[in-house]
Structure 1
């Protein structure tokens, strides 16, 4: 099998694993809401989102944007990592190529064109969150967002514009960055090809 075929198989396998994520997210969200004793209406009002959309998310029929997820977990006093956590037992140490899930937080918003390849599982047992952000041509992150923690990134491929607070940075393969997560931040692909960023943040948020 050549590299192109292997890359395609890896992406296909990752997408198959990701298919169950909306249902998993919906189940976790509903559990967190019920644990807090909140109705759909109460949570939607507190998180400034549509009650009907929230119902669809809980039933696995829709996926929220990243800013919406941040609002929901703030109200529910949990974290986004827990929403996607897959490991409830002993943690693994090695995660092989071709087995890492590829997550699209909002697959209904095709214009965003972003997927997250998990380097390590979402788990409360980890102090770090680590993903590879894949941004398709003309893709951009939802936001800006801000939260507690610190962000570190390394551009693996492509060209991106990183916006942190009031500052804008043009980055290409080999460039790296670090900033406090409480600064509003987002990014977009400014090149002609898919861009990829190796991204680490602490504490885990998404």
Structure 2
């Protein structure tokens, strides 16, 4: 990343914090004129100066050195989702709503056909899960309990908790769930 991009990031973060150049100068011990030159790209900040700015803005130092993701790489189009379909032609499906599993969270849409379940047995996974029923109703078998969830209900499933989903109705059910860290 070149100095001009660092300059733009410093200016952007300063403005996000609602600070003037003079206020940031007071917080960092760097002169207002040097900060102004850095933001304009006419002066090259030292690593020590960038550390001072980072501390004053309360942001990690590496934020000044990473490239921004292209926003198109953050979008998952409905017809481009990664999809897993199970059960010999049945329509039990999982669709990944996050672009990949590289971040701190995994976001998935599960579609359960009528009178089907997510698995034969309860299973567990490492990540903590929060689920929201967006369509239909479903039974959640969790440990030794059966919880009926209707459209609009949500539930938190602690990490390593045995569970399975079952649609007991004659209509398709859809559940959105997030798992952190990604582990499903």
Q: Which residue number in structure 1 is paired with residue 83 of structure 2?
A: 102
Q: Which has the higher strand share?
A: 2
Give the drift of 1:98.
2.1
- Residue 74 of structure 2 aligns to a residue whose secondary structure is coil
Is the Cα–Cα contact under 8 Å of residues 106 and 179 in structure 2 kept in the other structure?
yes
Q: Which residue number in structure 2 is paired with residue 195 of structure 1?
A: 173
Structure 1: runs of 5 or more not aligned:
1-89
Give the drift of 1:107.
4.3
Q: Which residue number in structure 2 is paired with residue 160 of structure 1?
A: 138
How many residues end up aligned between the 2 structures? 113
TM-score, structure 2 normalization: 0.56
CA distance in 2: counterparts of 1:204 and 1:158, whole angstroms: 26
Give the drift of 1:101.
2.7
TM-score, structure 1 normalization: 0.51
Give the drift of 1:122.
3.3
Matched, 1:126 2:103: yes
Query: After superposition, what is the alpha-carbon deviation per residue over 1:150-204, rounded to whole angstroms, capped at 9, x for unaligned?
Result: 1101100011000111111111110000021311100100122000001111121
Q: Which residue number in structure 2 is paired with residue 138 of structure 1?
A: 115
Is the Cα–Cα contact under 8 Å of residues 74 and 99 in structure 2 kept in the other structure?
no
Matched, 1:151 2:132: no
Query: After superposition, what is the alpha-carbon deviation per residue over 1:26-56, rounded to whole angstroms, capped at 9, x for unaligned?
Result: xxxxxxxxxxxxxxxxxxxxxxxxxxxxxxx
The 4+ residue runs of structure 1 with deviation greater than 3 A are none
Structure 2: runs of 5 or more not aligned:
1-68
Answer with 1 or 2: which has the greater Rg. 2
CA distance in 2: counterparts of 1:167 and 1:181, whole angstroms: 16
CA distance in 2: counterparts of 1:121 and 1:138, whole angstroms: 30
- Which structure 2 residues correspond to residues 25-174 of structure 1 after superposition, within 5 A? 92-104=73-85, 106-108=86-88, 110=89, 113-123=91-101, 125-142=102-119, 143-174=121-152
Query: After superposition, what is the alpha-carbon deviation per residue over 1:4-24, rounded to whole angstroms, capped at 9, x for unaligned?
Result: xxxxxxxxxxxxxxxxxxxxx
The RMSD of aligned alpha carbons is 1.8
